[in-house]
Amino acid sequence: MNIGFYSASTPITALSPQRFQRAKQFLRQQGVHLTAGRLTGKQAGYRSGSIQARADELNELIHEPKIDVIMSTIGGTNSNSILPYIDYDYLNKHPKTFVGYSDATALLLAIQTQAPECRVLYGPALVASFGEWPPYVSQTWHYFEQVLHAKPNQAVTLTAPEYWTDKRGNWETFEHEKQKYANAWHYKNQSVLKGRLLGGNLNTMYGIVASKYCPRFTDNDILFIEDAEKDAATVEKNFAMLKDAGILDVVKGIVLGKHALFDSENTKKRPIDILQEVLNEPQKPIIYDYDSCHTIPMMTTPLGAEAVIDAVKMTVTFMDF
């Protein structure tokens, strides 16, 4: 497997060199060949380069025939800036697998809508995920590998991790064991959801929702959303954006990921509480605390797949992706 990696927003390969080296070492131990994007190790203030430079970096990887998978190094804030400059026509003729999470959602959904021959996975980012320490890094890799190697007509079932954490620390160097929590998924109204699963990071979707890069949701779709390190006011605003756009009303159900390091702003409200208030539709099925999100370990979710999500069994089965 040859993974090409890029930095469409935060210059993490320059900011976190030890975590970057640890990620490369882990992936090479798995037999992965790595191809670095041209902005690797570079920084231009809050980003890795200009809009055009970041688009050029990605297009070079898109045009490299030896690369099978294109993976983000981390998220950030500004991946949506490069969307008009990506060579979607070439991608449709020479499809690749794209993987990432958080701010990479902008690119993932753009590929989903503009180059539908590609496979799009909401999953690990090179530095953020594979620079993590054991045992979480191996668990995240295992989920990714199961989905990545699935054949076109093969169903893949993933079982949620036994434990999870969102604790800070251990970014560049190991400091201490992170506190972990026994895992559980929860639901409102219906414990099993079936349909096309589509979405990603909510705060990133906010930046493309009115554009051609945002999918058109239908009544067969399950909206998948997750976020991290946001306060209650921001979460309400972003949920309301989906309501105002008509997306919450049309989808058959919602899967809400765990919200890492959520700030309730002294309200004691949880993201699910805010979602239900904004939704104002008591019977809409919701499964929440799903593990394809900023917590670790991370499950990989193929966007656009037909999915069966069981909150009681804590399993998800993906087909047709």
User: Is 149 a known active-site residue?
Assistant: no
Spatial CB neighbours of 45, under 8 Å, sequence gap ≥ 6? none
Q: How far apart are CA 318 and CA 64, in angstroms?
A: 29
CB count in 10 Å sphere of residue 63 = 12
Q: Answer for the pair 233, 109: CB distance below 8 angstroms, yes or no.
A: no
Q: How far apart are CA 321 and CA 305, in angstroms?
A: 5
Q: At the topology level of CATH, where does 2-131 sit?
A: Rossmann fold (3.40.50)
Q: Answer for the pair 73, 12: CB distance below 8 angstroms, yes or no.
A: yes
Domain with CATH 3.50.30.60 in the chain: 163-319
Query: φ and ψ at 166, to 5 degrees?
Result: -130, 20
Spatial CB neighbours of 49, under 8 Å, sequence gap ≥ 6? 39, 42, 57
pTM comes to 0.97
* pLDDT score, position 153: 87
User: Is 177 a known active-site residue?
Assistant: no
* pLDDT score, position 152: 85
Given 16, 48, 72, 226, which residue is catalytic?
A: 226
For 163-319, the fitting CATH number among 3.30.1330.90, 3.50.30.60, 3.90.1640.10, 3.40.1190.20 is 3.50.30.60
Give Rg (Cα) of the chain: 18
How confident is the chain (321 residues) per 10-residue block, as mean pLDDT? 97 97 98 98 97 98 97 97 98 97 98 97 98 97 97 94 94 93 97 98 95 97 98 98 96 98 97 97 96 98 98 98 94
- The HSE-up count of residue 305 (CA atoms within 13 Å, CB side) is 28
Domain with CATH 3.40.50.10740 in the chain: 2-131
Given 48, 81, 129, 294, which residue is catalytic?
A: 294
Given 102, 129, 132, 292, which residue is catalytic?
A: 102
